[in-house]
């Protein structure tokens, strides 16, 4: 696939933002946001979809650590 032009990138990012907003509103329920997921996958290259999914997971994890603090699991050595 060739590189996306500016309007295609904006369309991809807009579809991503709509999906993320839906997921936030529905406690990450993918079934409630299926049409947004399909739109996101249609407007973005597969590599970008994969990246943005990992990015969202990381941002959610980072937010959880910042809000709740780090708690080591049982048996994990303490630093």
pLDDT digits (tens, 9 = 90+) for 21-56: 999 999 999 899 999 999 999 999 999 999 999 999
The structural domain count of the chain equals 1
Query: What pLDDT does residue 60 have?
Result: 94
Answer yes or no: is pLDDT of 1 > 70: no
Return mean pLDDT, the chain. Answer: 92
Would you say residue 76 lies in a domain? no
Q: Which residues constitute the domain of residue 49?
A: 7-67
Look at residue 78 and tell me if it is in a domain.
Answer: no
Q: How confident is the model at residue 71 (pLDDT cuts 50, 70, 90)?
A: confident
C-alpha count within 13 angstroms, C-beta hemisphere, residue 55: 9
66: confidence class by pLDDT, cuts 50, 70, 90:
very high
For residue 58, what are its two tokens?
Answer: 């990381």
Place of tokens 């910042």: 66
Is 13 inside a domain boundary? yes
Taking the C-alpha atoms of residue 20 and residue 59, their distance in angstroms, rounded to an integer, is 11
Q: Judge whether 23 lies within some domain.
A: yes
Total residue length of the chain: 79
């Amino acid at each position: 696939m060739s590189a996306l032009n500016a309007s295609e990138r904006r369309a991809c990012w807009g579809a991503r933002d709509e999906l993320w907003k839906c997921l936030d509103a529905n406690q990450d329920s993918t079934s409630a946001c299926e049409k947004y997921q399909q739109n996101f996958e249609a407007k973005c290259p597969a590599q970008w979809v994969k990246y943005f999914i990992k990015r969202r997971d990381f941002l959610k994890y980072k937010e959880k650590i910042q809000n709740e603090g780090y708690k080591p699991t049982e048996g994990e050595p303490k630093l």
